[in-house]
Amino acid sequence: MADTHGAADADARASRAVTTLTDDDPRAPARRRRHGPLPWLAPGVLLLALLSAVPVLLLGYISLTSFEIGYAWADREFAGASNYQRLFSGREAQFWPALRLSLLVTVVSVALKLALGLSVAVVLNRRPRLEYLATALLIMPMAVNPAIAGLMWKLMLSFDFGIVNAALASIAGTKVVWLGQSYALVSVVLVLVWMHFPLSALLLLGGLRAIPREPLEAARLDGCSESQAFWRIVMPQLAPVVLSSSLLQAILAFQSFGPIFTLTDGGPGNATTILPLYIYKTAFGLGEIGLAAAAAVVLVVVTMSLSAAMLALRRRDLPA
């Protein structure tokens, strides 16, 4: 028994000696300072540069040329800012309407996603029965491919055999041309809200469950109603999540393409031609790649501005 204790003490002394030697070795901190995190970050940074920075730089270069489909790349000519002048001077009649329509769709859809997501989050926060089933059903729209979602809703909103008009006909005895001139934009907003509001609901649900219960219980003891406690205690603490969710939803809405392309193709006419669809039609319909690249740079700038705002908001909310 004494030999066993002696061996254990010897191992402990040896371990402390190695630890002390490592901590006291002046070369160890120097090695750590010299290398730092660069060897670990370099592969990821290089891959990120190849996948994002290089295409954006190439897009910016193409926007300064007169490159068109049907001509060799070697035949391109440097055009300077002429493509941007065409866009912002109003010579391209569809650019400003497409940009304004993108902003309108973004604002309206974000407001609806936030309202619907907050309502669903409040219900799920009360932990109803079949909570897990409801959550699974909630995230299903997010799992549908955007182009497939547009095709699916195109069938559902069909005037002749769509399930929506069939329900309206049985209830009210009437049908609506959902993809016509009057309601096409409404249908687009409906599809975008259906696709993306679960993300807001899940983010807001996480924010609600992170709020401590003690202030709410104290407010109830003081005689506050549920609505007063919600708007005066819960919402101020939920505000950062609301802002982050709204900015993320704005990014998703502003660059939406797939569901609108398959649902209306920007029509009828240009009733639903938002900026991404304008870029697509300019590039592959008219063949003016340089002009389309200039419009795409505008889209990238707006998206990056929203992303920067979201990152700044997150940094402000982090503890010091």
DSSP state for residue 265 in the 8-state scheme:
T
- Domain total in the chain: 1
3-class DSSP assignment, residue 160: coil
> Is 75 domain-assigned?
no
Is the whole model's pTM more than 0.85, yes or no?
no
3-state secondary structure of 65: strand
Burial class for 153, CB neighbours closer than 10 Å (0-12, 13-18, 19+): buried
Instruction: Please check whether residue 43 lies inside any domain of the structure.
Output: no
**Is residue 6 in some structural domain?**
no
Give the whole-angstrom CA distance, residue 273 versus residue 264: 9
**Cα–Cα distance, 78 to 20 (Å, whole number):** 65
d(CA 124, CA 132): 9
Give Dmax over CA atoms of the chain in angstroms: 96
Distance of CA 239 to the CA centre of its chain: 18
Q: Is the residue at 97 inside a domain? A: yes
Cα separation of 166 and 163, whole Å?
5
**Spatial distance between the Cα atoms of 251 and 201, rounded to a whole number of angstroms:** 17
Residue at 27 is within a domain: no
**Which residues touch 304 (CB under 8 Å, ≥6 apart)?**
none
Please give the average pLDDT of every successive group of 10 residues along the chain, which has 320 residues: 51 51 49 66 83 87 90 85 91 92 94 94 86 86 92 93 92 91 94 94 92 85 83 88 90 92 92 94 92 93 87 67
Evaluate whether residue 279 is within a structural domain.
yes
Q: Answer whether residue 137 is part of any domain.
A: yes
Taking alpha carbons only, the member of 94, 45, 72 closest to residue 266 is 94
Let me know: does 103 contact 320? Beta carbons within 8 Å.
no
CATH number at residue 213: 1.10.3720.10
Cα pseudo-dihedral 160, 162, 167, 169, rounded to 10: -10
Compute CA 36 distance to the chain's CA centroid, rounded to the nearest angstrom. Answer: 33
Answer whether 83's CB lies under 8 Å from 290's CB.
Answer: yes
Domain membership of residue 308 (yes or no) is yes
The phi, psi pair for 65, rounded to 5°, reads -120, 170
Domain span at 173: 80-317
Determine the Cα–Cα distance for residues 106 and 108; give it in Å rounded to an integer.
Answer: 6
pLDDT at res. 34? 60
Residue 78: φ, ψ to 5°: -75, 125
Query: For residue 203, what pLDDT is reported?
Result: 93
